[in-house]
Amino acid sequence: MRHFMEKDGEMFAEDVALSEIAAKVGTPVYVYSAATFSRHYDVFAKGFEGTDALIAYSVKANSNLAILTLLGKRGAGADVVSGGELTRALRAGISPDKIVFSGVGKTREEMHLALNAGIFQFNVESAAELDALSDTAATMNMRAPIAFRVNPDVAAGGHEKISTGKKENKFGIAWEDAPSLYARAASLPGIKIQGVDVHIGSQITQLDPYARTIEKIGGLIKTLRADGHTIETFDLGGGLGIPYGDGGQQPPPPADYAAMVLEATKDLDVRLVFEPGRMIAGNSGVLLSRVIYTKPGETRNFLIVDAAMNDLIRPALYGAYHDVEPVKSGANATVSYDIVGPICESGDTFAVQRDLPKLAADELVVFHSAGAYGAVQSSQYNTRPLVPEVLVSGDKYEIIRKRPNYDEMLSSETIPDFI
C-alpha cells in the first residue's frame, strides 16, 4: 500500500497536497511518505514473525538519515556497502549487531571501522578480501564474523545492470570455489566463519529464481557442515521487485515470498538474513517536478521539466520506467510527449512518447516509484544543486535534505596559487 493518492482532483502525499510542498520547497523535490515506508517494512517483517530473522534494510536504496531512523525504530537492521553507509546506519541508531557489510571492494579502513563498531557479519566476496579482512582483524586482536557471498549462477533481475547472480557478474565467489575458500578461511587467525550469503539480482518478480537458489545453497550448507564448518546464518540478500506502473509482471506479495522461504529452509537450522531495499523504499517516494516549457518538434512533442538525469538517473542508466502524471487532474485532451530534462545530454530523457493530458508551462508532474535509487544516485552534474528530500507524516512534512545554494556547492573547491 502506498499513501500517494488523488483527493479532489489533486495528488496528495498522505494528508499534504504536493502543490503545497512545491510552493514551499521548490522543485524538483523528492517527497516520501513515512506511512508507506513503515507499512512496507512491517509487511515484510510480518512474514517472518516468530523467527529470529534479521531484516537488514539495504541502505543503498535510500540512505537518508531520517529514513534510516524511521526504519531502525521499527526494528530494521542495515545492509551497508561502504564506510559512509555504515556511519549513516550507526548515526541513525541502528545497533551494530544488526548490520551486515556487503560489497566487492571493502578497504582496510572500512574493515577497521566495521570491526571497531562490532557489526553482525561481513559478506566476503573474494579470496583477496578474505586475506585483507583477516590481517586487519588480527592486528586488532579480533576475529571477523563472515559469510562468503556465493554465486549460484542463477539469472534474475529485469536488466543486465541489476542482475548479480550469474557467472559473468563481478559479485561473489564461484560456486566451485566455495569449499576450498571456506577451508582457507577456517585456517586464518582473524576470521570466524558463521554463514553463507547469496544475492541474485534486483527487481525480481518471480519466486522461482529464489527457490532454485535456496535449493542450491541448502546443498552447499550441508556440504560445508560435513567439512566441519559452523554454518549458523543464511543471508538471502534482497531483490524482491515492486510494481512500477509499466504493465509488466507483478511481483509476488511479501507474504508469499516469506512462506516459500520458510518452507524451503525449514530443515536447514539457520538464522535467516534479508536485505530488502527497493521493496521497502521504491513506492514510498515520488519525484515532484515542474514543467518549464512545452516544445512541439517535427516528429515529437517535448515536455521539458525542471527535473533532470542528475536528479533521477534510472531511466538514462538502464531504461527504467517511472509512471508520470500531472499533480492536478483535468479533462484536457491527451498528448504524446517525450519527457525530458534541461541537461545537455540526449540521454536526459525520462520517457518517450508517453501519453499525458495536455500540459502547459508551470504545471506540476509527479514521477512515481522514485523512493529507491533516486536521491541516492543524484549528482550535481551541470552544477545543478542536489535535489532536496521531504518526509511527510500525516498532515506534517519536513525537509530532510536541503537544496544547497551555489555558494554552498562551490565552497569545497579551491583555486591554487600557482594559477
For 386, the 3-state DSSP assignment is coil
CA atoms within 13 A on the CB side of 173: 22
Q: How far apart are CA 118 and CA 312, in angstroms?
A: 35
User: Which residues is 275 bridged to in the sheet?
Assistant: none
Q: Which of 1, 128, 331, 344 is catalytic?
A: 344
User: Rounded to 5, what percent of the chain is helix, strand, coil?
Assistant: 30, 25, 40
Is 300 a residue of the active site?
Answer: no
φ, ψ for residue 385 (rounded to 5)? -60, 145
Closest CA to 162 of 306, 373, 362, 358: 373
State the burial class of residue 116 (Cβ atoms within 10 Å of its Cβ: 0-12, 13-18, 19+).
exposed
Residue 25 burial (CB count, 10 A): 19
Q: How far apart are CA 184 and CA 194, in angstroms?
A: 14
| Helix (H), strand (E) at residue 77 | strand 77-80
Q: Are 78 and 89 in contact (CB under 8 A)?
A: yes
**CA-CA-CA-CA torsion sign (179, 183, 185, 191):** positive
So which residues are the catalytic ones? 344
